[in-house]
Amino acid sequence: MSCWETVADYAFRSLGYGERLLPRSEFTLCQQVTLIGSGMIWNVYFGTLALVTGFFLATAVALGKASAHPLIRKPSEWFIFLFRGSPLFIQFFFAYFAFLSLKSAYPFFDPFTSAWLGATIVLFFNTAAYSGEIFYGALQSVPKGDLEAADAYGFSGVTKFRKITWPTMLRLAWPAYTNEAIFLFHATALVFFTGFPARQQKGDALYYASYFADKTFNPFVPYPILAAYFILLTLVIISLFGLVNRRLNRHLPQDGRARLRLRPTLAR
C-alpha cells in the first residue's frame, strides 16, 4: 500500500471518514504521520473554538473584576479563582461526570457528554478565566494619561471604552495572551484522557500517538511526530498573534514598539 493510499484512507479518520479500522500491523511511518496529523484536526478545533469564544467572556470577566460594584466584582473574582485554582484535568473529569448525571435526568444533555461540545465548554470557561486575569492585569496598567486625554477629547461611555481603553488593554495584554493561546492548544491534548470517550476511535493527535506507542511498544516514533506537529502549531500561533500584535502597536514610534517575546513564560 503506497503512502498516498494511506493518506487517502486516514487523513480524515479522526472525523470518521475513510478506513474504518485503525492499522493493526506493520505501523509504517506514513501511517503514523497521517493518523497523528489527522488527530491534530481536533486539537485545532478545540483550541480555536475555545480561544475565539473565550475571548469575549474574558473581556467581560476582566471588566467585571475591575468593577467597583461588589455584586459584579465578586462573581468575576470567584470565576477566575475557580478555574485558575484547580487543575484542568480535574475540571474535565468533573464536567464529564456532571454532564453524564444530567443526561440521565434530562436527555437534552446528551450531546454535552461528547467531546466536541462538552470538552469545548470546559476549555471555553478555562481559557476565559486565564485570559480574563491577563486582561484584568492589562486593564489596570492602561496609562492614566491616555484616559485623561480621552476625557479631554469628549469621549465617554462605550465610545471611550471601544476606542481607547479596550485597544490599549489588548495591546498591553497581547504577549501574555499569546502564551495563553499556546498553552490552551497544548491543553487540548488532555481531552481524550479524561473520561470524554473517543467514540469509534475518533480521537485527537495524542490519542493516536499513544495508540501507536501501545501497539508498537516503541515510543520513539509516534511522540516525536506529535512533538513536531505541536511545535509547528505553536509557530503558526506565534506568527498569527505576531501579526495582530503589529496591528495593535502600529501607532507607536517604530523603536518603541513592544516586540512580541518568543520565549513563552509558563504553562497553566
Partner 1 sequence: MPDCTDPASLEGLAWLACYLTTGKHMAFYGAFGTVLLLLAVTAPAALAFGFGGASLARSRIAPLAWIGKGYIAIVRGVPDIAFFLFFVIALDQAFEWARHQIRCGHWDQPIWQGNDFVVCPQAKLPLSTADQWIHEVYGFALAVLTFAIVFGAFAANVLYGAMRAVPRAQIETGHAYGMTEAQVFRRIVVPQMWVYALPGLSNLWMVLIKATPLLFLLGVEDIVYWARELGGTKTPQFTSYPHGDWRMWYFLGLLVFYLAFTRVSEVVLARVTARLTRGQATLAGEAQRKRAAA
The three grid cell numbers given for residue 159, joined into one nine-digit string: 465610545
Provide the H-helix boundaries in the chain: 3-10, 29-66, 70-85, 88-105, 115-140, 144-152, 157-160, 166-187, 205-216, 222-248
Residues 16-75 that bind partner 1 (CB under 8 A): 27
* First-residue to last-residue Cα distance in the chain: 43
- Least Å distance between CB 152 and partner 1? 30
Find the binder of partner 1 among 40, 226, 237, 248 (CB under 8 A): 226
Q: Which residues contact 175 (CB under 8 A, 6 or more apart)?
A: 245, 258, 260, 261
CB of 156 to partner 1, least distance (A): 33
Binding flag, residue 87, partner 1 (CB under 8 A) = yes
Among 45, 135, 230, 241, binds partner 1 (CB under 8 A): 230
213 binds partner 1 (CB under 8 A): yes
Q: Three-class SS of residue 43? A: helix
Q: Which is nearer to partner 1, 27 or 42 (CB)?
A: 27
The span from the CA of 109 to the CA of 99, in Å, is 7
Q: What angle do CA 80, 123, 162 make, to 5 degrees?
A: 60
Q: Is 165 in the site for partner 1 (CB under 8 A)?
A: no
DSSP state of 257: S
The answer to whether 210 and 32 have CB atoms below 8 angstroms apart is: no
Using CB under 8 A, pick the residue from 22, 234, 249, 260 that binds partner 1.
234
Is residue 199 within 8 A of residue 35, CB to CB? The reply is no
Site for partner 1 in 170-199 (CB under 8 A): 186-187, 189-190, 193
Contact status: 90 vs partner 1 (CB under 8 A)? yes
Q: Within positions 98 to 127, which residues make up the interface with partner 1, using CB under 8 A?
A: 98, 100-101, 104
Number of residues that bind partner 1 (CB under 8 A): 44
Q: Is 144 in the site for partner 1 (CB under 8 A)?
A: no
> Residue 256, class by beta-carbon neighbours within 10 Å (0-12 exposed, 13-18 middle, 19+ buried)?
exposed
Binding site for partner 1 (CB under 8 A): 27, 81-82, 85-91, 93-94, 97-98, 100-101, 104, 186-187, 189-190, 193, 206, 209-210, 213, 215-220, 223, 226-227, 230-231, 234, 263-268
